């Protein structure tokens, strides 16, 4: 089943295989095949001619047959209006063209299904409206790049179209210096190294990414350096050559170096060392208080889109990340490298 999500429609193509269905109603068949939609929505789409079988419009009661080719378009609901919200922001730098935000580790960047409020964009809209004269058009923040909800750290935001264009080009051509810090389960073979591997959708779980064959994903390169060793864990500095979805988390997990606390990719359980007694309790307490992965976008550097000067920013680790580090240093035989 192919799925192409346009702004107006969720689009699918289905071919009914042999030995699967016979004489089941069209609406019931589609409801069993398409996630996140209801039979009622499918029936409405059929009535409006958005669904065809073998190129023809059919009724909801049409009995599906083996070999049928079904084209489906389900209208997307109109998104709610994005509104400014008075949410505190940790702004590291700001001028007329851009600002750099140190995002907390529990904030979604952009409004989307399930998170229409409480996002970084909602907060930025409030902040930038405060800078605008009432009679002027509202300054809309331009998100140049994103961080996962559960990743903290530095983001640059454009405040006008020209800055957005230039900064976006920097990210496209890799003219951005970015480093991340992560606590991971396990120890890399070398103190410094490079991880490569194409990243695409996990064929076994469409909500995750995975290292896949080159023809199934996009090339990705991650450089790492050990900063500190612990008992069965490591603090790493990571630099990206590419910016694929979940790149650091996927590359590390594929090398059995799961990011500490990462629920999606398996870092939220004891992966190495004894899983008993006080050690097990310590880690369970850390998982419970952390509620996210220990991944932080620590530094960010780029050429200012207006002045042409190189600007560089370095952020402090958030409190929850520091708490994990403190416990590891106290209980897990640390060996400092940097």
Q: How do residues 2-49 score in pLDDT, each as one tens digit? A: 566 556 788 999 988 887 766 799 999 999 888 878 899 999 999 999
Grade residue 184 by pLDDT with cuts at 50, 70 and 90.
very high
Grade residue 133 by pLDDT with cuts at 50, 70 and 90.
very low
Burial of 203 by CB count in 10 Å (0-12 exposed, 13-18 middle, 19+ buried)?
exposed
In the residue annotation, 148 being an active-site residue is answered as yes
Among 131, 97, 338, residue whose Cα is nearest residue 237: 338
Structure tokens at 304: 């200012």
CA-to-CA dists, residue 103 to 13, 147, 149, 214, angstroms: 39, 8, 9, 33
**How much is the pLDDT for 79?**
66
Sequence-distant (6+) residues with CB within 8 A of 206 are none
**How much is the pLDDT for 247?**
96
Averaged pLDDT, 53-58 = 94
Grade residue 161 by pLDDT with cuts at 50, 70 and 90.
confident
Is residue 242 over pLDDT 70? Answer: yes
Lowest average pLDDT, out of 104-113, 157-166, 268-277, goes to: 104-113
**Of 131 and 93, which is predicted with more confidence?**
93
Averaged pLDDT, 233-256 = 95
Among 194, 202, 198, 196, residue whose Cα is nearest residue 214: 198
d(CA 107, CA 87) in angstroms, rounded, equals 11
Is residue 130 over pLDDT 60? Answer: no
Which one from 68, 96, 148, 175 is the annotated catalytic residue? Answer: 148
Q: What is the pTM of this model?
A: 0.75
Averaged pLDDT, 138-152 = 79
Domains assigned to the chain:
2-75 (3.10.290.10), 91-173 (3.30.2350.10), 177-336 (3.30.2350.10)
Task: Tell me the three state secondary structure of residue 48.
Answer: coil
Residue with tokens 């995002």: 103
d(CA 71, CA 287) in angstroms, rounded, equals 45
Is residue 150 over pLDDT 70? Answer: yes
């Amino acid at each position: 089943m192919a799925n192409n999500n346009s702004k107006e429609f969720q689009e699918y193509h289905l071919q009914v295989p042999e030995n699967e269905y016979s004489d089941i109603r069209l609406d019931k068949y589609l409801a069993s095949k398409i996630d996140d939609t209801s039979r009622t929505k499918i029936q409405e789409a059929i009535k409006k001619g958005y669904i065809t079988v073998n190129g023809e419009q059919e009724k909801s009661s049409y009995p599906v047959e083996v070999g049928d080719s079904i084209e489906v378009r389900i209208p997307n609901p109109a998104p709610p209006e994005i509104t400014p919200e008075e949410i505190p922001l940790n702004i590291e730098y700001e001028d007329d063209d851009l600002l750099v935000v140190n995002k907390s580790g529990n904030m979604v960047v952009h409004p989307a299904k399930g998170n229409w409020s409480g996002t970084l964009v909602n907060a930025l809209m409030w902040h930038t409206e405060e800078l605008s004269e009432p009679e002027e058009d509202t300054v809309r923040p331009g998100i140049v790049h994103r961080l996962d909800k559960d990743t903290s750290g530095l983001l640059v935001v454009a405040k006008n179209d020209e800055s957005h264009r230039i900064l976006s080009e920097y990210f496209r051509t890799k003219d951005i210096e970015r480093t991340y810090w992560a606590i991971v389960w396990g120890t890399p073979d070398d103190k410094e190294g490079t991880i490569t591997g194409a990243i695409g959708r996990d064929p076994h779980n469409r909500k995750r990414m995975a290292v896949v064959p080159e023809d199934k994903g996009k090339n990705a390169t991650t450089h790492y350096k050990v900063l500190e060793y612990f008992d069965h864990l490591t603090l790493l500095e990571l630099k990206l050559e590419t910016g694929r979805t979940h790149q650091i988390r996927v590359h590390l997990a594929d090398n059995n170096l799961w990011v500490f606390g990462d629920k999606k990719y398996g870092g939220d359980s004891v992966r190495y060392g004894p899983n008993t007694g006080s050690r097990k309790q310590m880690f369970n307490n850390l998982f419970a208080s952390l509620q996210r992965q220990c991944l932080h976008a620590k530094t960010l550097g780029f050429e200012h889109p207006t002045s042409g000067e190189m600007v560089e920013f370095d952020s402090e680790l958030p409190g929850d990340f520091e708490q994990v580090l403190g416990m590891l240093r106290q209980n897990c035989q640390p060996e400092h490298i940097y």
